[in-house]
Amino acid sequence: MFLGGSETTAVTMHFGLLILIKYPEIQAKVQKEIDQVIGMEREPRADDRSHMPYTNALLHEIQRYCDVFPMGFIRSTTRNVTFHGYFLPKGTDVLTLLTTVLRDSTQFEKPEEFNVNHFLDENGKFRKNNGFMPFSAGKRACVAESLVRLELFIFFTMILQKFTLKATVDTKDFDVSPTESGVENLPPAHKILFIART
């Protein structure tokens, strides 16, 4: 649990930092929300997340877009099942392709693009989306989901509270597209500048 959680959290953080550099207007909106809700004097807390819809939407979109673990884990049927006309006998191994949901155009307006608005309503409030399944779904979803969500929130808000992120290269050439490694999607390598906020 700890190895899996730390690996996927680290990869998601890496993606997120690159995305914030590529889209400085998104970074500025998150920093504005941090300044309004948390300020510069205290550290972020778990209960701050419910007062920060834009940051919450950003974190959800980072996880959706980056699709770190697109195939999920192998599961087995516990009984005979007929699914969409296919018979699966008890004990059949099933591999869920989470990426098909995370890129589903019936769930997300622009599934191939990074778009924070996938998780915001017309009033700028956070909204859930049934297509958001980076942790899988049902009784066998990731046991560390709530821990990972909290870690991502705390890490990102602490970093953006103290620093502005910039690239060492021109951001028009800044590729943040995930690359497949067989099991997980990985971010491209880039150098990042952390500039202290004053």
Find out whether 142 is annotated in a ligand binding site.
yes
Question: What single string gives the DSSP state of each residue in 25-88?
Answer: HHHHHHHHHHHHHTTTTS---GGGGGG-HHHHHHHHHHHHHH-SSTT--EEE-SS-EEETTEEE
Question: What single string gives the DSSP state of each residue in 87-137?
Answer: EE-TT-EEE--HHHHHT-TTT-SSTTS--GGGGB-TTS-B---TT--TT--
Q: How far apart are CA 64 and CA 133, in angstroms?
A: 8
Give the residue from 57, 142, 62, 146 showing the smallest Cα distance to 96.
Answer: 142
Q: Which residues are annotated as a binding site for heme?
A: 142
Q: Which residues are annotated as a binding site?
A: 142
